[in-house]
Amino acid sequence: QVQLVESGGGLVQTGGSLRLSCGASGRTLNLGVMSWFRQAPGKEREFVASISRSGGSTSYADSAKGRFTISRDNAKNTVYLQMNSLKPEDTALYYCAASTLLGTEYAYWGQGTQVTVSS
């Protein structure tokens, strides 16, 4: 079993930056793709970014391209999301998710960390 815990959320002004972290514990050696999702009040959960096991491949939602960067440090069992040029529409609860090495769906989810961007 794997547990994921997000941290780094907070309140920032429009144009500011924030770095989110997601630490994994438990059976972490077989973790594959790790991703960030977000959900705002009254809206459906949406994909933000993902990164492969090796860190060699990344993927971003159109809303995140050019502003957000996902990275991972497997020695620390941690994935990061660097967010720059934040906008009020980025306000949401941000979740970390992970698949197993051969899995096609996300098997593990964190509880989320709140990001609020003021105008």
Enumerate residues 6+ apart whose C-beta is below 8 A from 112. Answer: 6, 39, 93, 94, 95
The predicted-structure confidence for 76-97, as pLDDT tens digits, reads as follows: 999 999 999 999 999 999 999 9
Tell me 14's DSSP state: T
pLDDT (average), residues 23-41: 95
Q: Would you say residue 104 has pLDDT above 90? A: no
Longest pairwise C-alpha distance within the chain: 42
Which is nearest to 36 in space by CA: 47, 21, 52?
47
